[in-house]
Amino acid sequence: MSPTAVNQIAGCGVIQAMSVAWIELELTERTVWVTDEEQLAQFVAGEYPGLVAALSLVCGDRTAAEDAVQEALARAVVAQRRGTIDSLPAWVRVVALNQLRNRWRSRSREQKATQRLLDTQVPSGVDDDVEVSMDLVAALASLSRRQREAVALHYRLGLSVAETAQAMRVSDGTVKTLLSRARAALGAALRDEEDDDG
Amino acid sequence: MDEFEGNQDSEIEGRLRTSLALIAPPATSIGVLREVQRRVARRRRRVREAIGGALVVLVGGGTAAGLALSASPQMTAVPPAHATVAPSTTAPSRLPSTYSKGAADSVGSAQANLNGRPPTPAPCPTDLKTPTMASGSFCGPAPRPGNGLGPNGTCTASETDAPCGPGVVPGQFYAYTMPGTCSGLVTFDGKQWVSELPPPNPVLAFDVWIQLSADGSVRWIAPTGSVGLKPYAGRPPAPCRG
């Protein structure tokens, strides 16, 4: 058999595989979106607002947090069709966190993110008995990225230690340590605030 | 004492939860579904374009090769070769159309092919001495094996002469044997590089023309396409699928 004939046969196999991929794409586009949409709508209505809020504490940028979660959701829709997602909220949390981390590949970007957090405007009209101090924002910015992630997921999003560990892809013990150290730093800021009131 | 500390901790946790909720109020979910749908559609469009482009390159290449075969049964003298872009047993099974200058052309040709018109590759000048992808497909002399000391001329990282060893002249094309490992790691100009599009599964080594550009970037071209290489940063290579 001539080399060209071999090439053509090998080419046929690739063409067939690609044609199948094309047809699958067309079919899934028409049929699967309906079932996905229900689950997606539930997530957006229930979990999305809290997750964006928590991630904005991590990166100090609400727009970046929204972008990360929306991108994770778009990927989730595609991944769901392949049946690779067991729990949509858990999957989206992991992917969105990774998205944010990818933005931080350079140190300068991380420093900018910390600065953005410091620039965070605390909303006015806060209840008298819960005064939010800028000290807390500054204390948050002084935490390491991982400590901030743990604090945001555990205290802002309300995840358990195990769920936080799963989202951060670390052990429960690591999360406990991160939370304990973060609590010490943030607790000081909260106590200062209390002393100022007193 | 422990109890006191425990109470203090839970009090701090309570204040922390409330304060964090005030610093970072919940986001609005209005318009999110539409934005996600838009992103999904965009991702799907990119995949479709990639598949369509690769299909056209394959179909077009196969057609061109078939026509050439039927027109001249004795295909011995190949150079200067036109793009015979069907994957061969000595070429990576993933077509690197993304990295070729003609990627945009391929996408455009995809549309033409879907309309039932096979793409017609631009004719190659007959007097080409150096390989080129200027027309969007490969033209010029057929690639030859490299001068590496490994099997089929692959580099072993122990060579002292260019192109395996140092001393590669920017802008000059070198005959080079590309190892078909899916790690994508190659030795060139005395340094290690990694392919931007390694084959998903190991394939046999194949011959290419490789060039170091004046800006320090490296790419190889061959009838199968064009792929860039980037300096190896010591990261572990991607695992093979096969």
All residues of chain B having their beta carbon less than 8 Å from the beta carbon of residue A12 are 62
All residues of chain B having their beta carbon less than 8 Å from the beta carbon of residue A191 are 12
pLDDT of amino acid A49: 93
Give yes or no for A9 touching B (CB within 8 A).
Answer: no
Contact A122 B22 (CB under 8 A): yes
Is the pLDDT at B192 greater than 50? The verdict is: yes
User: Lowest mean pLDDT: which of A122-126, B162-166, B224-228?
Assistant: A122-126
For the residues A166-188, what does the mean pLDDT come to?
A: 92
- pTM to 2 decimal places: 0.48
- A70: closest CA among A87, A46, A95? A95
Is the pLDDT at A11 greater than 70? The verdict is: no
Give yes or no for B233 touching A (CB within 8 A).
Answer: no
For the residues B100-113, what does the mean pLDDT come to?
A: 38
Give yes or no for A77 touching B (CB within 8 A).
Answer: yes
Give yes or no for A23 touching B (CB within 8 A).
Answer: no
pLDDT of amino acid B2: 45
Is the pLDDT at B109 greater than 60? The verdict is: no
| ipTM higher than threshold 0.85 | no
Give yes or no for A177 touching B (CB within 8 A).
Answer: no
pLDDT of amino acid B99: 36
For the residues A91-118, what does the mean pLDDT come to?
A: 76
Please, which pLDDT band fits residue B56 given cuts at 50, 70 and 90? low
- What is residue A124's three-state secondary structure? coil
Task: Phi first, then psi: give them for residue A147, nearest 5 degrees.
Answer: -65, -40
What contacts A136, CB < 8 A, 6 or more positions away? A186, A189, A190, A193, B19, B23
What contacts B144, CB < 8 A, 6 or more positions away? B175, B207
pLDDT of amino acid A79: 80
The overall average pLDDT reported for chain B is 71
Q: How far is A43 from chain B (nearest CA, A)?
A: 10
For the residues B225-237, what does the mean pLDDT come to?
A: 81
DSSP collapsed to 3 states, chain B: CHHHHHHHHHHHHHHHHHHHHHHCCCCCCCCHHHHHHHHHHHHHHHHHHHHHHHHHHHHHHHHHHHHHHHHCCCCCCCCCEECCCCCCCCCCCCCCHHHCCCHHHHHHHHHHHHCCCCCCCCCCCCCCCCCECCCCCCEECCCCCCCCCCHHHCCCCCCCCCCCCCCCCCCCEEEEEECCCCCCEEEECCEEEEECCCCCCCCCCEEEEEEECCCCCEEEEECCEEEEEEECCCCCCCCCCC
- B95: closest CA among B125, B59, B69, B121? B59
Task: Phi first, then psi: give them for residue B228, nearest 5 degrees.
Answer: -85, 155
pLDDT of amino acid B139: 86
- What is residue A70's three-state secondary structure? helix
Q: How far is A179 from chain B (nearest CA, A)?
A: 10
For the residues A80-104, what does the mean pLDDT come to?
A: 84
Contact A74 B12 (CB under 8 A): no
